[in-house]
Amino acid sequence: MASDRKPKAVIVGGSIAGVSTALALCSTGWEVVVLEKTSSPSTGSPTGAGLGLDSLSLRIIGSWLSQPELLHHSTIPLTIDQNQVTDSEKKVNRTLTRDESFNFRAAHWNDLHGLLYNALPPNVFLWGHLFLSSHIADDIASVAVKAKVLKTGEIIEIVGNLLVAADGCLSSIRQKFIPHFKLRYSGYWAWRGVLDFSKAENSETITSIREAYPDLGKCLYFDLGSGTHSVFYELQNKRLNWIWYVNQPEPEVQGTSVTMKVSRDMIQKMLQEAEKVWIPELVNVMKETEDPFLNFIYDSDPLDKIFWDNVVLVGDAAHPTSPHCLRSTNMSILDAAVLGKCIEKWGDQKLRSALEEYQSIRLPVSWKQVLHARRLGRIKQGLEPFDPKSPRPEDCQELQQKNIPFFNHVPSILNSI
């Protein structure tokens, strides 16, 4: 790399993993280009989703922001982790486990992405650019990336010193290096939705749901039924986030997304089934949610390798995981921070050493968290022996988020954050 210019990274994918990696690398002095196929930044679409940020992710994000207080203002605390069983006949909930020392904050995807995106220097993102291919130079000092400008059809080439695959669980870059890789279908999909009640704060639905879930605004609720479970919590700006997991045969995934918009008939059938399982207060929230959608839940067996020469995987491209431990976003942010610190430590002249250390730090953690999330989902969906009506004490312990492997672990390379 020439000493008179900055090293350059090309990041494919502009979701949370991509924008986080861009911030981490910009903070080390690298030039960064992000290729994102969508045409423009998100404008707050109601089909976004809620997510939970752990204390380490909050610290990392705060270190990237010139105004860290903005993160506090766009999230709300989750101080309680509660698992409860739903009696579908009597339509009542009974607490199984309750941890009042939970230390997360809840965010809406669009709010978090906008906060991170606005912290970047201008012109880092190339919107409406579809990644096509990459080629590593013989001396491994550079990588050439071809992309299509979707608006014009023009093919462009960008040359950088590092290619970062942040292109999600269906990563085409990963597929090039692991051609036989296949995602593993979990056995269930998830109905998701966010109810905006800002204009109906005193409605019967909101009054009733606050009575049924008295710790809304600070609690992460997991409701367990027979062979199913749901997740429920509040978001900033008077929104309620809900997820309902339903055992189903594997669907046929179309295109490059595991998210699907649904028809009105599908929504009506979902609501009819929800009435059989959940308490009416939760069902009413589902009924009043605009544009609920489906996520097909996949993960993968842990990878043995997450970099090749000067190409590296981050986020769901590196470790597709089911969402039951709230790890996908947190793992992506941690990937970005560790990658940035490794590159800062070794310098751009020793990029391979930096990527080797990144891999050595992240692989053991992601392996255990992916497999733990898989087991937790199977337990809650009745795919492992578990009776929520009469669980063993050790089963209840396993349900708690604080028992995730490496739950409070901070890599030493991040001690300065």
Cα dihedral across residues 87, 91, 94, 100: positive or negative: positive
pLDDT at 46: 46
pLDDT at 47: 47
Which stretches in the chain have pLDDT values below 70? 1-4, 43-48, 254-256
Structure tokens at 370: 């992916």
| Domain ranges for the chain | 8-70+111-182+300-383+407-414, 78-104+186-298
pTM of the model as a whole: 0.95
Whether 11 and 70 have beta carbons less than 8 Å apart is answered as no
Q: Within a 13 Å sphere around the CA of 350, how many CA atoms are in the beta-carbon half?
A: 11
Whether 16 and 112 have beta carbons less than 8 Å apart is answered as yes
Sheet holding 219-225, edge to edge: 92-99, 80-87, 219-225, 228-235, 239-247, 184-196, 293-299, 259-260
Distance CA 16, CA 23 (A): 11
Distance from the first to the final alpha carbon of the chain: 28
Element of type H or E holding 134:
strand 129-136
Return the bridge partners of 99, or none. Answer: 81
Sheet holding 125-127, edge to edge: 125-127, 31-36, 8-12, 162-165, 311-313, 307-308
Q: Within a 13 Å sphere around the CA of 50, how many CA atoms are in the beta-carbon half?
A: 28
Whether 53 and 43 have beta carbons less than 8 Å apart is answered as no
Whether 162 and 8 have beta carbons less than 8 Å apart is answered as yes
Sheet holding 143-149, edge to edge: 129-136, 143-149, 155-160
Q: What are the b/e assignments for 349-379, b being 16+ CB within 10 Å?
A: eebeebbebbbebbbebbbebbebbbebbbb
Percent of the chain's residues with pLDDT above 70? 97
Q: Is 3 exposed, middle or buried (0-12, 13-18, 19+ CB in 10 A)?
A: exposed
pLDDT at 1: 47
pLDDT at 239: 96
Q: Which residues contact 299 (CB under 8 A, 6 or more apart)?
A: 183, 184, 186, 320, 321, 322, 370, 373, 374
Please give the CATH superfamily to which domain 8-70+111-182+300-383+407-414 belongs.
FAD/NAD(P)-binding domain (3.50.50.60)
Q: What is the DSSP string of 51-104?
A: EEE-HHHHHHHHHH-SSTHHHHHT-EEE-EEEEEEEETTTTEEEEEEEETT--E
Whether 48 and 110 have beta carbons less than 8 Å apart is answered as yes
Q: Where are the alpha helices (DSSP H) in 185-263?
A: 204-212
Distance CA 384, CA 191 (A): 21
Which CATH number fits the domain 78-104+186-298, given the four candidates 3.40.50.2000, 3.30.9.60, 3.20.20.80, 1.10.8.60? 3.30.9.60
Q: Which one-letter amino acid corresponds to residue 220? A: L
